[in-house]
Chains A and B, each alone.
Chain A
């Protein structure tokens, strides 16, 4: 009996997802079967895929050839450590999302449940295939299936015009990006006609063509990830999609683009040049700052999280840039540090951002409300969701002892080494970039306090919120799973780095795991304990101990008496919910300090208004400065071309004839 290799298990998992999707279509009306059997089954498959790649990590590459598709053009598949890290991410994050989805989807909302089940599982399988693909053909097919299935998922509620518009924008930018990726692959084959990744690796590239390929890849994958200036689809598509889909897209799908960038930069295109790193870092810094500033001023909770995803993608691009710079100067140990920060942040972000998006889903179901201005006080009605969201918020703000802090810490440590670069200009500019990273991290805290404080704390801003109900058992289980991942990634960094190090070692030739293991599992000291160390477990234990012990001591030594009374609030009588900050009010300092960054339309009441009102609308500069002119340009050009379309068949035949003559003249053998 042939042994079952990990790559076979992963392929079986992908097939299992497809089968689950098809089973959903076969019983499209059986809601119980789809939600309580098929989705949990999908989660089990995801856990299997995650565990398989976890046990594989550190192994050698495995390949497979699938003879499907066109004749003479089979799918080449390959499992290596980089793929395994991302399969791990897809598996573990989507397990929680699928379990949550089992309790989330309701009857009679948008797409029929069976069809939705098919789209969802095809989406999962296509992400798996994107990661496993080993030739441009298989990659592009999987990439397109991923884009299309997620497009259908985004437009689940297709009866609303704005959701259709969001879906259209997503599809458009996804395809512009896909063209760039295809061109990049084309450049990397260097005319050899060999579209396998092995063939691309073997091609020598001049610096010029390598740069062209890399820039095309940056643009193409950046369009999927949401890098500036091709980020505009993200804040539209994420709020439009149902929450499990938003979680899947933001937590998982964006990472496939990061995977693609890593695959091209460190595996396919040959030796990177130092200025690629500068370019990635510049784009990343701009994206991160832009994302976090816009996330602080949003009034829709899912848009706020979508902009926060843009910020995190920006930080990932900064880490990529730093890795490229170190790698280009052959400082592999430091490149490994930066790359570990990058991979770690991918995992951390997959956990906490999925968690937060799912929490918004529960809130949405309980209240039918997405606008921050109509929420508040939900911690009283939805304690499960509120406390788990708190974990996501702390991780997202990059604070110890949860997952977001570890990657931020590693990234800052990597920045601290940049003065050692053998380049007079770089070693001065790069440390200053760390200042921007610090600002972004601090602003993320502001955005997260706004999100949590306005949704879960304070008084309820609407009467209807009193009837809000907590999440059901399936939803709770999904949230708790992602919360546990966030905690585990925060507290056990040495163990996690020991696993993902295989990918770093594969791409850079050196890793961190030896140094990390030296000092015991509780201490993270990537270089040496004299240089920097962090023990998250001590953090957690000390704070928990201080809370418990402090409480015990105070209650024993003094007393634990508590009285309830109305709030004091300096004696002010009016204490209704409208006395609290609105979402717009909370972010007013940001709008004031960073005014030029926003395109604002404000209306102020005057003294003589019959019905005075105040409104502020914040819009994206890129939309008005770049996209609308571009759309007008395209419309103008196409208006010119419509002149060719006379509508008479004789004219079209003439065009064909002339084309034929021209081709005969030009293309003589």
Chain B
């Protein structure tokens, strides 16, 4: 572990960058979506205004809320922050990188999911439990698919460490892996489901019977809601950066040379901008499916992921 001062500084920069960029990414996706749907777009900085407003408001706590309810937003926020600190956004050489490999990263997301689902069940309203149940449904369908994607990557790089995977794919001789195509499709499906995006959930809905994420956080207000919204932005940011790191790793610095890191920032911003626009496009072109079609959607993702693994084992391992 590189525990030098500069390493720690870069680690801190990565965390601050995540905190700052994540709401911007959400704002950008919302803006693109509004343009594509012929609506007048909200300002790019709208998520920041909202966070600021929410932090100022009082928390209105339901009578039946237990301490778990107030505790959960901080845990979820902490998990997402940890995930953002581990994923190599700028550099593969971060002090926190060895603290979790990709499997542990899935575990971090799982921990956050359990806490948010439990918090949703805490007050005991009809929509809260409905949201918690659906979130766990999406979770248990998405998690195996995500793990299979990671297995494919890990078999290519001979490692589950995110940093090593990125280094293998970005900085060694260029080889085209067909299995990566399958894994990429599966990963895209999974990240749509995990981030409560359109074919599975709709981040803009408040139509009661269709919502998942929104149903879970109905009872949250004030600073708690702000933290959850921020954590949701961080999750989108983390998934985007993970996808970019795994499938488009070019531009991520190796080591902590100043120039390389400085160059990495605009590259990451550009990649995120393109990714966000694509996300908005896909969301606009698709309709939300019924909740019981979600297993089919995620089952397809799982199938693609296993296909990727099999392609890797059948065709590529002899290369």
Contacts and interface: CB of A to CB of B under 8 A. Distances in A.
Nearest to A561: B58
B201 interface: no
Contact of B164 (A390, A397, A428, A530): A530
A435 interface: yes
* Centre residue among A390, A454, A542 by max chain B CB count within 10 A: A542
A159 interface: no
Contacts of A400: 100, 104, 107-108, 111
Contacts of B64: 377, 458-459, 567
B58 A563 contact: yes
B241 interface: no
B218 interface: yes
A452 B122 CA distance: 10
B85 A542 contact: yes
B144 A442 contact: yes
A546 B74 contact: yes
Interface stretch (B146-154, B169-177, B245-253): B146-154
Chain A, interface size category, equals 35 or more
A566 B82 contact: no
A299 to B, nearest CB: 15
A274 interface: no
A564 B63 contact: yes
Interface in A391-433: 393-394, 397-400, 405, 409, 412-413, 415-416, 419, 427-428, 431-432
Nearest to B107: A400
Contacts of A551: 74
* Centre residue among B58, B124, B148 by max chain A CB count within 10 A: B124
Interface stretch (B24-32, B130-138, B259-267, B282-290): B130-138
Contacts of B127: 569-570
A367 interface: no
Interface in A572-628: 572, 575, 577, 579-581, 585-586, 589, 592-593
B71 interface: yes
Interface string B110-143: 1101100110011111111110111011011101
A435 B158 contact: no
A420 to B, nearest CB: 10
A377 B314 CA distance: 52
* Centre residue among B78, B79, B108 by max chain A CB count within 10 A: B78
Nearest to A565: B60
Nearest to B208: A570
Interface string B47-59: 0000000011011
A562 B82 contact: no
Name B's interface SS. Answer: helix
Nearest to A452: B118
Interface stretch (A181-189, A252-260, A531-539, A644-652): A531-539
B1 interface: yes
Contacts of B133: 581, 585-586, 589
Contacts of B78: 542-547, 550
Contacts of B144: 435, 438-439, 442
Contacts of A431: 151, 155, 309, 313
B219 interface: yes
B295 interface: yes
A435 B129 contact: no
B317 A419 contact: yes
A509 interface: no
B110 A399 contact: yes
A445 interface: yes
A568 interface: yes
Given A380-B66, A453-B117, A532-B160, A427 B104 contact: no
B309 A569 contact: no
B62 A529 contact: no
B82 A453 contact: no
A446 B140 contact: yes
B96 interface: yes
A379 interface: yes
Contacts of B58: 559, 561-563
A42 to B, nearest CB: 35
Nearest to B70: A562
A558 interface: yes
A554 interface: yes
B19 to A, nearest CB: 11
B124 A580 contact: yes
A393 to B, nearest CB: 8
B98 A533 contact: yes
Contacts of A457: 66, 68, 118, 121-122, 124
Given A449-B118, A458-B124, A534 B104 contact: yes
Interface of B: 1, 55-56, 58-64, 66-68, 71, 74-75, 77-79, 81-82, 85, 96, 98-101, 103-104, 107-108, 110-111, 113-114, 117-118, 121-130, 132-134, 136-137, 139-141, 143-144, 147-148, 151, 154-155, 158-161, 164, 206, 208, 218-219, 222-223, 227, 292, 295, 302, 305-306, 309-310, 313-314, 317
25 contacts: A379-B122, A383-B67, A394-B111, A398-B110, A413-B160, A416-B151, A416-B160, A434-B147, A434-B151, A435-B305, A443-B140, A453-B117, A458-B64, A529-B161, A530-B161, A530-B164, A534-B100, A539-B104, A546-B81, A558-B56, A562-B60, A567-B219, A570-B206, A580-B126, A589-B134
Which 5 residue pairs are nearest across A and B when measured between Cβ atoms?
Answer: A546-B78, A458-B124, A459-B124, A453-B121, A567-B62
